[in-house]
Structures are given as C-alpha cells and as structure tokens.
Amino acid sequence: MERRFLPTTQRELEEQNIGQLDFVYVIGDAYVDHPSFGHAIISRVLESHGYTVGIIPQPDWRDTTSVMALGRPRLAFLVSAGNMDSMVNHYAVSRRRRQKDAYTPGGVMGKRPDRAATVYCNLIRQAYKDVPIVVGGIEASLRRLAHYDYWSDSLKRSILMDSAADLVSYGMGERSIVEIADALNAGIGVRDITFVEGTCYRTKNLDAVYDYELLPSYEELCRDKANYARSFYMQYRNTDPFSGKRLVEPYGTVFVVQNPPAKPLGVQEMDDIYDLPYCGTYHPMYEDAGGIPAIAEVKFSLVSNRGCFGGCNFCALTFHQGRIVQVRSHASILKEARSLTEDPGFKGYIHDVGGPTANFRQPSCEKQLTSGACRDRQCLFPTPCKNLRADHSDYVALLRKLRELPHVKKVFIRSGIRFDYLLEDKSDVFFRELVRHHVSGQLKVAPEHVSDRVLARMGKPPHQVYQKFVERYEKINRECGMNQYLVPYLMSSHPGCEMRDAVELACYLKKSGHMPEQVQDFYPTPSTISTCMYYTGLDPRTMEPVYVEKNPHRKALQRALIQYRRPENYELVVEALTIAGREDLIGYGADCLVRPRGDMKGKKGRAAASSRKPKKRTIRNIHPKKS
C-alpha cells in the first residue's frame, strides 16, 4: 500500500481530491509522519476513523493568513505546540535562549513563538471567529489548570482562559479526539461537548456538572501559595482514569472543568495505533534544509510501552501519560522491527526498545487493571509496594525475538532502566541479558543524587539501593567478561537540596573517581510535585516546609561542586565549601576536593591531589538528563 503524507498545501489537497478538510492541525514542530510525534498519531487516528486532516507546520505567528493556508476546516482546528513544551524547547534552565531546535528543519531556532499553543489558538481565532479549536499536546496538557510558570515566575491561568481554545484534550488524546470528532460530526456544538473523558472545558454554569471536587479559585491561589499547594495535590490525587474525579477551578464567574482522564488503551488498541500508515519520516519539503534532526533519535527505535508508575516528583508523566503502563504486543513490535530492517539506512542496530521507562512492560499490580493506581501511595517509593509485580519475563522474551530477526546485529536499550524495579525481580535473567546483549558500552540510569534527604524529595529510592545496583552490575559484567559503563544522571538544586547535600554529592564523585562532563540543574516545568515545591516552598503531600534554592549564584555553587575539578570552578567550589562549613575539604588529603588558594602546582585544575590513584570503576561519563 502506498503511504502518503497528509496534505500541507492547497496543491496537495488537490492532488488528494480533498475539497474541504474535516480538521486542520496547526503544530509547532515540523511535520514528521512518525508515531514518536504526537501530531502524527492524532492525525492518523482521525484518518482511520474516516476524517480528513491537513497539517500546517510552524506557521508564521505574526501573520494571520498563515493559519488560513488550508482553508476553513469543516469541523475544527487542532493545535499543538509540538513534541516539547515550547518554553523548554526555547530556554535552558538558566533562562538563556537555546541555539538549536531539533524539531525544526536544519535545527534552526526561532520558528515557533514562546507559549506556542496559546499564540496559535489566538491567531486562529483572529482568522476564524466561530470555528471550534481543540488544543492538545504536552504544552496544553500540563497547563490545563492554573500552574506555576517558571519563565515569568508567576502563577498562570488555565490555558483555556488565555487562549481562544474551546477544549483541551489532555494526556495522549487518542480516545478523546475521536469522541470529539464524532460529536462535532453529529452536529453537537463544541460548547455542548462537556462529557468527554480526558478533556477540559469552560462554563458559566455548574448546574449540569456533577460529582466534582471544587478547587480553590484562581484569586485564592494567587493570594496564598499554600492554597496552590493544596490545590495541586488534589489535582495529583485525581490523575487516575479509574478513581479520578471531575475537578472545577473557578475564575470569577467562569469555571474551568476538568473531566476525569481517559481510560488507558488495551494491547489491541495500542497495536492498531502503531499499525497506522505512517510514512516513518519527515515531509520531503524539508530535504533542502537538511531534514529534521529529531528523527535521528527515533527512526530506528521501537516504542514498547507508555505510562510510568515510577512517580518521580520532578517528572510530568503522571499528569500526561499517567501511571498505568500500556503496552504493545510482541507481534506488533516485531512487525515494525522487520519494516525497519528493510529501510535503506538501517545498519543492523535497533537503537531502543522502550518508552518512558524501558523495563516497564506491565501494570505494577493486578489492581491497576481494574481499579487504577492508588491515590495515596506510590508503587516504588518510599519502598516498593508489597503488591508490586517485578517480572521482566515478557520483556526478555520480546528482546530475544528481536535479536533473532534477520539483519539485526544488535538491540540496544537506551530509554532508561528503573534500577530499583530491576532489583525487585527475583530472577536475574533480564539483568544478565541486559549486560550481555543490550548495552551500547554504557547504560543510562537515574539515581539523580546521593543524599537521602534530597532523594526523598525527589521520590527516588535511598542511595543504598543504587549502590546495590552498581555492585550487581559490576559483578555481572565481570562474570560475563565485559567492562561496560553506567551513565548516571545527576541533578543539582532540586527542592530540598542544601549546600551540604551538594557537598555530599561532590565527595561521592571524588571517592568514586568520577568527573561529570555536564550537570542538569532542576528545571521547574509545569505540573510536577517538584515544581510545586519550588514555587510554594511546601511539600504538597504533607504541607511541610521545603528548602528551595532560587538564588542563581548559589545554584551555580551547587553545580560547581559537582564539577569541582574544573579550573574555572575553583573559586565557586571554595565559596561553597566555606558556606557549608566544610573547609576541611580544602587541602592535600585524599578526601579533599581542592587545594588551598595560592597553590599553582595543578595547572590543569586545582583539584586536590589524592595520595593514591582512584580505583577504576565502571561508572563514567556522566551526562545531563534531557529536558
């Protein structure tokens, strides 16, 4: 079957004999028809239900006519800022402008506006006064209710209040978008589409809204940060599709209503979505510009699952994909893998088989299949739940089948392993096969820190759990005759992290002989527990005060401690150690981080000379976590 890109121009509409599109999809990314891109999935799902969809990629937000390129849609405009939040895409945690955009032709920065979803919606409303607008994607999903905006350091209203959109389709959106489309097609007005799970809408009357929990008003949230902390935790406890209740957030005489999340997809539904006729790459119009850099990361990778019950406090997955793991069948994944091997660019290497967490291939317990995730506890934190099913047998069987495919030389796992879950598995079959077959020289893991006080605020296991994993990883490597590295992601300045905790991390790096090339500062993105802590100074689960480092200079001190060996960090490290009362780490001893001022012997850096060479370890090359 010939695979065709969806129309992006009037000429392509004519070639495909489409007079008027049912939906016009305005996106902040370039058009890539690959299931790793949200716009591709949503548009192909609609197409599979008999609707026509056209794409306007990266319109000129300064020109109203740019969103009129495909004419007036019969049913609605769809809007997404893209695969990444536009603000995260544009700015580093320092708020400095990034230089490249991997989702734009040639990696050029500046082809979309800040807060793109809101800007596009308002642009469409200027061009078409009465066409329904449905906004979705990660940016809208995490801004569906009032939220802290790091870039303006302020509390922002729901995106429904600041954009001209009629509906928010939050989460992954496959179920809700079809229900919305069918309702519009049946002649139901967009303001009457108040019944779809996984959506938010505005109303001036709550008479028809039932079984809801009333959140504090936006005015109350702005008046007292404690109100926001309580409101956020109420939202967090209602993110499950089985137990989540309808939420109402008042804005004067207007109410934003969040319907419960959409139900998770079954295996067959996941298979059907990934079996749709994607072209598998970017639109040919981008060839002259050098293509779309982001496709390189996913072109020869396989999505095995979605959702994550890991529950890290700094991660927005709970609010977007949810905590219930959804998987594809082996047959579906193998079918896609065989098609990859037929690609002229395939060199024999499948780059990844995973998802948010690679080794989650089933819900965490039987209860989640019928009752959802627990409202008041997490599956792995502070300790693994007694009902947790830690079993990698299905994943092992899948990986073995992939390794046996003709033309496949190696199958890598690069999307991250949840090491505490792996340790709960009574069998070490997966651990051994992981080391022997699926590591490309280095394995990504995310301990994030070594201070148990900080790890508790992150929702991560105690440091001793990671140490146990390291020891087993080294042991299995030795037994297999291999010497592969671990790549642990580390984070500075997370809420709860004081200077003494940063010093503790630096001492750990010194003892283990590591030198991280880069460091990831905590990035307060919308709709995470950690961001709520950052804004309010409170842990929303307990309302306990939390230390938050916001001063840019002191944040730089924490970051410098992790890279204490760099010459340019010397003064910062000395200052940090002085603040922490750890001047004992300035000297010549084996445990010291830097030498005293005035000692110029170390021209390549003033790091303290150890009395012995550090023991060689398998943990090296620490890189930052991608935003």
pLDDT digit string (tens) for 233-283?
A: 999 999 999 999 999 999 999 999 999 999 999 999 999 999 999 999 999
Token digits for 33? 């028809």
CB 77 within 8 A of CB 128: yes
CB atoms within 10 A of CB 341: 14
CB 103 within 8 A of CB 84: yes
CATH 3.90.180 fits 10-201, yes or no: no
Does residue 615 carry a pLDDT above 70?
no
Q: Three-state DSSP class for 248?
A: strand
**569, amino acid identity:** N
Kindly report the CA angle at 614 between 610 and 618, in degrees rounded to 5? 155
pLDDT digit string (tens) for 224-238?
A: 999 999 999 999 999
Cis bond upstream, residue 241 (ω within 30): no
pLDDT digit string (tens) for 543-570?
A: 999 999 999 999 999 999 999 999 999 9
Does residue 515 carry a pLDDT above 60?
yes
pLDDT digit string (tens) for 290-322?
A: 999 999 989 999 999 999 999 999 999 999 999
- What is the reported pLDDT for 607? 55
% pLDDT > 70, the chain: 95
Mean pLDDT confidence for 391-407: 98
Distance CA 387, CA 367 (A): 9
Token digits for 533? 């802590």
Does residue 503 carry a pLDDT above 60?
yes
Does residue 622 carry a pLDDT above 90?
no
- What is the reported pLDDT for 620? 43
- What is the reported pLDDT for 608? 55
pLDDT digit string (tens) for 90-101?
A: 999 999 999 999
Indicate the domain borders of the chain.
Answer: 10-201, 267-506
CB atoms within 10 A of CB 615: 8
Q: Three-state DSSP class for 15?
A: helix
- What is the reported pLDDT for 376? 83
**373, amino acid identity:** A
Comparing 335 with 599, which gets the higher pLDDT?
335
CB 272 within 8 A of CB 323: no
Does residue 416 carry a pLDDT above 90?
no
Token digits for 414? 């690069």
The H or E element containing residue 303 is strand 301-303
- What is the reported pLDDT for 524? 98
Question: Please, what's the largest Cα pairwise distance for the chain?
Answer: 79
Confidence bin at 420 (pLDDT 50/70/90): very high
Rounded (10°) angle between helices 225-236 and 529-536: 170
Token digits for 406? 């003709």
Just give the CATH number of 267-506: 3.80.30
Does residue 369 carry a pLDDT above 90?
no
CB atoms within 10 A of CB 108: 12
Nearby residues of 490 by Cβ (< 8 Å), 6 or more positions away: 447, 448, 449, 505, 516, 519, 520, 562, 622
Token digits for 178? 């079809």
Between the alpha carbon of residue 558 and those of residues 45, 137, 619, the distances in Å are 46, 34, 21
Confidence bin at 1 (pLDDT 50/70/90): low
pLDDT digit string (tens) for 12-38?
A: 999 999 999 999 999 999 999 999 999
Mean pLDDT confidence for 40-59: 98
Confidence bin at 517 (pLDDT 50/70/90): confident
